[in-house]
Structure 1
């Protein structure tokens, strides 16, 4: 284990940021927890941070030597605000950056893919975490979780496409490892759970564990785009619909060994997540 200074966790109240901050503080690392309203995080120093307000950036970066980067949600062009911040971070003394991306977005791809491409030119020590779709999308505040609770349905354009859904706890475990441990600089890590499931499987397991009937409603990509456009910017809705189309054609039908290889334990299953979060 390397000697770490202070780690800035951006999005410290979010799905992976909160879990990453908790793991780091539990291991005795100094953490600055960045969120829009400087929300208190146990064991961490809270700081106000807004990607779109550069006036909040200096205080967040003071004395920091590594950073966990969660892109601004729903922004189809996050590089526009993230790259100026990352240049400022490098000038302020940050030497290690870990970016949360997506298994569906390669280096140089749309949205955060452009930040991925720029990262090696900014930091000698960097890693990009590209997790598959979150298991927590079906239990938290995501649209899937809301529709499960309200309608007993999951609406997608994925057809029978299979996905290596991953537990956010496993993402955080890997994030904490690469933020504070010894690892080869320049690491592109695809994270999945231990098995692939389609959304019919997700609905069936949710029904079995919760006792509430849940079904998978299949939409066309255009229908999904229009449904999502009522909830988010149309460009981002179109991007998500295209990702569902790719899943239907097999883009996420894979399992990697990243989680067990870096954490030393098996990746969690969707059934175990539901049993943990619904008991």
Structure 2
């Protein structure tokens, strides 16, 4: 067992966790890759971790001095699940934490917003990543990607609203800087891509890059809530449908320079990422 401190990456097999773990190990950092099944991750130490099973928490924290935190998926009150673990992590010697949140969730707001507000008092150094919606939502395992593959359709209640979708690779690049720089950001960071796009724009780009017709079907807020409630718990469905409504009202129609400031390069554009991931199968 090495005495070199490690970064515990929670959600190490997920969209941003896997990319963050890969970038850390490629740069020579020790990584403990946490997942519910302790799935092997290249060049990292696999550890079993389940937010809902405190018996997995102590072993996962062994040797870690910093955390990358992906909240439990689908949990409407993540603070109740996460804060006891974060207090345990601080008592175990963790002094830096980087939390994945969302541009739609402000400090102290619903969902992970409560964890965001607690983080500065818990850790000596910290950052909250608040990315816009992921570009990978249209190419990976997300429901949007599934409906594109199966039906050639995107259903949303976003209307003409625009989003500056962000590449998960860019989120991971910022996460690594926040975890490893001599000085942590000690603030929240809103991450976006280089341009704001409507879902009509997304459908057109996906049609071009996949060679298959993709259309954006606009539905009402209530219809979207009902549709989502067939896939996730009603409370979480209402939260997600509410985010669509916020997009329709312009809440995500913005870009930031955060990726460029933290990484020294511009964020990746949607068309390039869609083409890259379509080419990768």
Query: What range describes the TM-score normalised by the shorter chain of this pair?
Result: over 0.9
Query: Equivalents in 2 of 1:201, 1:46: separation in Å?
Result: 40
- Matched with 2:35 is 35
Does the CA contact (< 8 Å) of 2:178 and 2:184 recur in 1? no
Q: TM-score, normalised by structure 2?
A: 0.97
Query: Equivalents in 1 of 2:191, 2:101: separation in Å?
Result: 10
Does the CA contact (< 8 Å) of 1:124 and 1:185 recur in 2? no
- Give 4+ residue runs of structure 1 displaced > 2 Å after superposition: 182-185
The alpha carbon displacement at 1:261 in A equals: 0.9
Cα-to-partner distance string for 1:191-232 (whole Å, 9 max, x where unaligned) = 000000000000000001111000000011110011001111
Query: Equivalents in 2 of 1:74, 1:219: separation in Å?
Result: 22
Cα-to-partner distance string for 1:94-114 (whole Å, 9 max, x where unaligned) = 000000000000000000000
Provide closer, same or farther for how the CA distance between residues 185 and 198 of structure 1 changes in structure 2, counting only shifts above 3 A. closer
- Matched with 1:106 is 106
SS class of match (1:51): coil
Query: Equivalents in 1 of 2:49, 2:246: separation in Å?
Result: 34
In structure 1, list runs of 5 or more residues that go unmatched: none
SS class of match (1:189): strand
Query: Aligned residue pairs: how many?
Result: 276
Query: Equivalents in 2 of 1:194, 1:69: separation in Å?
Result: 25
2:118 equivalent to 1:118: yes
- Matched with 2:198 is 198
Cα-to-partner distance string for 1:91-132 (whole Å, 9 max, x where unaligned) = 000000000000000000000000001001101201000000
In structure 2, list runs of 5 or more residues that go unmatched: none
SS class of match (1:190): strand
- Matched with 1:60 is 60
- Matched with 1:233 is 233
SS class of match (1:115): helix
